[in-house]
Structure 1
Amino acid sequence: MKQLIDFPYKSALVLGLAKSGTAAADLLLNQSVKVRVNDMKTEETDPIVTDLKRRGAEVVLGSHPLSVLDGIDLLIKNPGIPYDHIIVAEAEKRGLPIITEIELASELAEGPIIGITGSNGKTTTTTLVREMLAASNVPVKAAGNIGKVAAETVQSMGKDERLVLELSSFQLQGTIKFHPNVAVFLNLFEAHLDYHKTIDNYLEAKSKIFANQSEDDFLIYNADDEKVSKAAQSAKSQKIPFSLKQHLENGAWADDNAVYFRGEEIIKRAEIALVGEHNLSNILAAISASKLSGATTEGIRSVLKTFSGVKHRLQFVTELQGRYFYNDSKATNILATEKALSSFTKPVILLCGGLDRGNSFEELEPSLSGVKAMVVFGETAAKLTQSGKAANIDQVVHTDNMQEAVEAAWKLSEQGDVILLSPACASWDQYPTFEKRGDMFIEAVHTLI
């Protein structure tokens, strides 16, 4: 079994179970660290709780007494738990280090780490990097907000495997020594201010992706994003910019004909399967990270010719306490939502609504037979409420934004339920694109405990 080297902590509190907390507790128990777990919503009968107790962990459920910090020298918190939470605030008063499981995972990782962050495009870029490396016969695994939790993934990785991490600002804020060999900073838009309070705090959290890098490392950054470019200048690592607007000899760029990296033509734009200007920016970042991590031009080209993307089209996001979350934000009409609903046999809690194009939703009503509850939002909320009632759905909840919608769906859900975002409407009343709407859904899901 791999061992944590120079790990100074003897006892740790894991605050919030979910996937990241469970993986963190598992890793620590495997390292013979004394573990205490504190969670508000998990039940005593949950198999995870039973297993943790069997392995020697102390588990405190249903409340957050300050005494859970007694005798503790490290706090590992679920990324979505804010720093003004009673336990986190008390830990700060006591001078305890506060981390997320990303920091813990990086302590155990033996091979190179590629960290990817940004307000948008993280999943697409992470997936591209993983696929480009794999197509180049470079051993690689992806984790973080994509696939398995990092603390689970690193325990079975070899020394030569690259670890590609999709990283949120919530995860990055809880790092101290985290040090990716290649860092990617895609973009920065105003988001999560309820958590970070200010855009400057949000940028500071994101910038921790390169804070501990040295001159032997690489920072790939978006030269078209003013805030990102300015923040990148403080990095000690080698800076590799990418741009859709300018020719960059030491970076990646695109013109009307092709995509380039450090003067080499990588692929003709006409050969790229993945469409969208925003995805071209993600492609430039992915090419840079992959090239610097050992990918071949042939491997990169093979991926770009075939990868058409999976995000926002019945995309499985995660499973939390027996609830299965799917992002189908690209369902901008009734037909698309009907197809999505027909994909599930489990009970569905449907999140829907958006731009009012003047149509009714009577056509959707026959497809709502497997829907146990609806959470509606946007200009069409009233119409969708009417259709939900017509389909004999007893619980229809009206919310104002995606964060509220996800929280409402969580409260309505039970183990075994599917929580599906499939709006049946365009996004433009509240979000500039369906991609942004889907990203907000994913980010809201990851704030649940």
Structure 2
Amino acid sequence: MMDLDGKTVVVVGLAQTGIAVAKFCVKRGARVTITDGKPADQLADQIKQLHGVPVRFALGGHDLTTYLAAELIVMSPGVPSLRETRAAAAGGIPVMAEIELAYRFLDPGATVLAVTGTNGKSTTTALTGKLCEASGRPTFCGGNLGNMPMIDAVDHPANVPGGLIVVEVAAFMLENCTTFRGKTGVLTNITEDHLDRFGTMERYAEMKGRIWDFQRLDDLAIANAADPWAMKEAEGIRSQLYTFDSRPGAKVEQGAVMSDDRRHLVLRMPRIGEELYPVDDLVIVGNHNMENAMCAYLATRGIGLPVDAIRAGARAYRPLPHRMELVGDRDNVYYYDDSKGTNVASVAASVRGFPRPLVLIAGGVDKGGSYEPMLEALDGVCKGIILIGKAAPLIREAATAHKASYPVIDATDMHDAVKRATELSTAGDAVVLSPACASYDMFQNFGHRGHVFREAVSAVGAKRLD
């Protein structure tokens, strides 16, 4: 455990995680400076959350002297590597992710279950948390989910011997870790995402693979057998590898597959043998969600949770907000909030074979990569795309190259987007917010984007269903 008493700590990024880290460090006697590139007038709400907390603010830019005066620098997940942090690291000042700091304060008797991946990690994390809760053991479920950063686990009742700490971790977080380790490390998949930050798929995959880098021989690594990037990262790891594969007829020696009739998840694990779990225990549907469930079942069964607890947790689980959530109905036009669809592969998985004709609302901050997989998935179901945010010209260009037959329309904001999408829709259709982009050009985060969408749904006269 680190001693922060009297140390000068610089927290980079004044958002949910940065606020939590600042409070945590102050509570332990540190002298805290929070720095953010945004000016104070754009951070008024965040500053209010630290009212009465003795911290110093260095806002509106990054001052190298602030970083070089630190004894520890803690990075918020949304902040990229900066010239100032690299200079500090070169000078021997520790620069670490919030999850790394939290990990160093955990009770050694608590068990960490860590989940990463391009898509599915939030559902997998939340489902894993529900299975752990059903076991009766004290459970924390948070991290990159957006509810509680991992630093909150330190003062949580689950931070005890026998406690379970379930965390979603992003590549941004793993980038600044040197000891963080999960007893189980899940990698759901690796597809094009965050190339604006990491530059290449190789570098992005390497960051995702760090979830296994510090595991021990008796730890569990869980990987997607159908994902070549994930399997490449699994080569040479020291922990025990379990794979999952939802493809028809798939076979695994150690891991999970679907039964031939696709009515059960089949787990095969040493010392346990073969176990069948009914698909009907779950309210989530779709092939991608069966893979998420395989990950959760393997992770929890792998640390010894009983079958009855896993099945009870599965039956109790309900989908997370902003994941293809039905939130409104206007004369049999349904409105779906899939604001968590922040990359092309996620959107493609969600809309392919959609049960209703749909008008898609997409756009935001482009992450690099091609929009073609999304456009291919929209073929046959899409009646139009309404564009918002900075990526609008890029998506329009891709739709033109794809020879899309439906209208592609620019909107000024979310309310305008929902209004225009509604105008394109008739009874039996759906309006789907699934942006394929990050949110921070127009919104605080994907949750804020989803809430504004819901407000816009109400504004067009739809009955709210959430």
| Global fold match (TM > 0.5) | yes
Say if 2:13 and 2:36, in contact at 8 Å, map to a contact too: yes
- Paired with 1:15 and 1:249, the residues of 2 have a C-alpha distance of 45
2:267 maps to a residue whose letter is F
1:156 corresponds to which residue? 156
Say if 1:313 and 1:329, in contact at 8 Å, map to a contact too: no
1:34 corresponds to which residue? 31
Say if 1:144 and 1:150, in contact at 8 Å, map to a contact too: yes
Post-superposition shift, 1:99?
A: 1.3
Aligned 1:294-305 pairs, distance under 5 A: 294-305=304-315
* Structure 1 residue 407 corresponds to structure 2 residue 440: yes
Say if 1:77 and 1:99, in contact at 8 Å, map to a contact too: yes
- Paired with 2:336 and 2:324, the residues of 1 have a C-alpha distance of 12
1:226 corresponds to which residue? 228
* Structure 1 residue 309 corresponds to structure 2 residue 319: yes
Post-superposition shift, 1:422?
A: 10
Say if 2:328 and 2:335, in contact at 8 Å, map to a contact too: no
Offset from partner CA, 1:73-116 (integer Å, 9 cap, x none): 22112212222x33223324434322111111111121111100
Greater Cα offset, 306-315 or 131-140: 306-315
Change (3 A) 1:216 1:329: farther
TM-score, with normalisation over the residues of structure 2? 0.70
- Paired with 1:69 and 1:360, the residues of 2 have a C-alpha distance of 48
2:371 corresponds to which residue? none
1:104 corresponds to which residue? 101
1:81 corresponds to which residue? 79
Post-superposition shift, 1:233?
A: 2.6
Any idea what SS the aligned residue of 2:142 has?
strand
1:335 corresponds to which residue? 333
Runs of 5+ consecutive residues of structure 1 not aligned to the other structure? 316-327, 341-350, 365-372, 393-400, 425-449
- Paired with 1:7 and 1:360, the residues of 2 have a C-alpha distance of 54
1:240 maps to a residue whose letter is Y
2:462 corresponds to which residue? none
* Structure 1 residue 131 corresponds to structure 2 residue 141: no
Change (3 A) 1:210 1:338: closer
Post-superposition shift, 1:52?
A: 4.7
1:260 corresponds to which residue? 266
1:250 corresponds to which residue? 254
* Structure 1 residue 43 corresponds to structure 2 residue 45: no
- Paired with 2:67 and 2:238, the residues of 1 have a C-alpha distance of 36
Any idea what SS the aligned residue of 2:251 has?
coil
Change (3 A) 1:87 1:120: same
Change (3 A) 1:69 1:268: closer
Change (3 A) 1:68 1:421: farther
Say if 2:130 and 2:316, in contact at 8 Å, map to a contact too: no
Instruction: Give the root-mean-square deviation of aligned CA atoms.
Output: 4.1
Greater Cα offset, 136-145 or 53-62: 53-62
Change (3 A) 1:271 1:142: closer
- Paired with 2:319 and 2:417, the residues of 1 have a C-alpha distance of 35
1:382 corresponds to which residue? 409
Post-superposition shift, 1:118?
A: 0.7
Identity %: 26
Offset from partner CA, 1:100-158 (integer Å, 9 cap, x none): 11111111121111100111100111111111121222221101112211112322233
Change (3 A) 1:168 1:267: same
Aligned 1:414-429 pairs, distance under 5 A: 418-420=451-453
- Paired with 2:173 and 2:328, the residues of 1 have a C-alpha distance of 27
Change (3 A) 1:123 1:73: same
2:296 maps to a residue whose letter is A
Offset from partner CA, 1:149-205 (integer Å, 9 cap, x none): 111232223303211000110111111111111111111112111101111111111
2:346 corresponds to which residue? none
- Paired with 2:24 and 2:52, the residues of 1 have a C-alpha distance of 15
Post-superposition shift, 1:287?
A: 0.4
Change (3 A) 1:247 1:9: farther
1:202 corresponds to which residue? 204
Any idea what SS the aligned residue of 1:420 has?
helix
Aligned 1:113-128 pairs, distance under 5 A: 113-128=112-127
Post-superposition shift, 1:261?
A: 1.8
Any idea what SS the aligned residue of 2:155 has?
helix
